[in-house]
A and B are shown apart, each in its own frame.
Chain A
């Protein structure tokens, strides 16, 4: 059974940093691309960032480019999102999502974690 478990969310002040983690199990992690997708409370879904199986291809939404960094550790079956210079508009549930393929060419999110809430407020 595929399982994705996010952690690291919480309340943080504007301008500060936070690092999210996603622990994966139930599939061969190093064969698939992974993504972060966020959802502000009561709002729709927004793709944030994606990373290919080898970390050779990385992509970001314009809204987070230069502030967020995605990474993965295939030896630990883990995905990460380093979030710097956080803003109030970054407040959202952050979901880790598995891609159906190894590259970033076709983003089909076939499994999702339960999400972790990031609240940015003073």
Chain B
């Protein structure tokens, strides 16, 4: 199975900050990497697919980059509604595995 490791596990940031979350795969997965946002008590929401493609309706302050085994999710200017937990997920091979999550909290 492909292991996905996110860092950091949590971070504190202020509105307007630039935030970067990293995801590393245990083997190369090309660009088969997706990012999700989950707010408390809610279902996850797809933000980025194929490492860098923005899902329809997602604000442009979210962006993704990377290929191979190292990937990044960037929020260019953190907004109040962005405080949530973010998960990466590899779609290279089954079983489809997720990172452990990164919780973005208000500083």
Chain A residues close to B by CB (< 8 Å): 35, 37, 44-47, 50, 59, 61-62, 95, 100, 104, 106-115
Number of cross-chain contacts by CB at 8 Å? 56
CB distance from A4 to the nearest CB of B (A): 9
Contact A44/B100 with A62-B95, A108-B91 known, Cβ cut-off 8 Å:
yes
Given contact pairs A44-B87, A45-B89, A62-B95, A109 touches B44 in the complex (Cβ within 8 A): yes
A37 CA to B44 CA, complexed, in Å: 10
Q: Are B97 and A47 neighbours in the complex by a CB distance under 8 Å?
A: yes
With A35-B96, A108-B46, A110-B55 already in contact, 17 other A-B pairs whose C-beta atoms are closer than 8 Å? A44-B87, A44-B100, A45-B89, A45-B101, A47-B98, A59-B95, A61-B95, A62-B95, A106-B91, A109-B34, A109-B36, A111-B46, A112-B43, A112-B44, A112-B45, A114-B42, A115-B43
User: For residues 73 through 107 of chain B, which have their beta carbon under 8 Å from a beta carbon of chain A?
Assistant: 87, 89, 91, 94-101
A109 to B55, CA, bound (A): 11
A47, A100, A104, A109 — most chain B CB neighbours (10 Å): A109
Out of B34, B43, B99, name the residue touching A114 (CB < 8 Å). B43
Cα distance, A62 to B94, chains bound together (Å): 10
Which residues on B sit within 8 Å (CB–CB) of A44?
A: 87, 98-101
Given contact pairs A45-B87, A108-B34, A100 touches B95 in the complex (Cβ within 8 A)? no
Chain A residues within 8 Å of B99, by CB: 44
A16 CB, min distance to chain B CBs, angstroms: 25
Known: A106-B32, A108-B34. A45 touches B94 (CB 8 A): no
Chain A residues contacting B44 (CB-CB under 8 Å) are: 37, 45, 95, 109, 112
